[in-house]
Amino acid sequence: MNVQIYSREAIEEIISERKFPENTAVISFYDPAIKRIDKEYSHVDYSGVCDTVLYSELDDLDLDVLKSKGYSYDTYFPEAPDIAAFIYHAYNNGMDIICQCEYGQSRSAGCAAAILEHFYHSGISVFANYDYCPSQMVYHKIFDALEQVRN
């Protein structure tokens, strides 16, 4: 399984150029904060190019600010088990996965690192790449959920 990380801008360019890869599932993170500022904002539209998409509206938060935003570790990102099931579905069907978020650096990178660590023990490759700043919250929540599916 090939796991790739994309920003909104990069994936929208691929879609507009009709170069979207076949046999690929997408995990698309989008920002509730931007939606509150810009009423026109919505997630990337994958209709017509990909039928296997899971959208997650998720604030990009670190552990130290969860409480101030009204979350605890347990209540932040309750969709992680659904994402883990989605990842296993893609994996079992021989699909590649695109992890995409607004800038392609934090949530999508954390998700990709968790997938790579769980299946191939190579998640560190994402953390070691200075193009990314993987969300440790997303990484841990998805990695733990993937481990639960395995067991």
pLDDT digits (tens, 9 = 90+) for 4-33: 999 999 999 999 999 999 999 999 998 876
From residue 29, alpha-carbon distances to 33, 57, 117, 149 in Å are: 12, 6, 20, 21
Joined together, the tokens standing for residue 79 give 């969709």
**Neighbouring C-beta atoms of residue 123, cutoff 10 Å:** 21
- For 54-100, the pLDDT digits (tens) are 999 998 898 889 899 889 999 999 999 999 999 999 999 999 999 99
This prediction has a pTM of: 0.93
Cβ–Cβ contacts within 10 Å for residue 133, how many?
Answer: 15
* CA-to-CA dists, residue 99 to 10, 12, 75, 138, angstroms: 12, 13, 22, 12
Calpha distance 103→129 (Å, rounded): 15
Q: In CATH, what is the architecture of 3-150?
A: Alpha-Beta Complex (3.90)
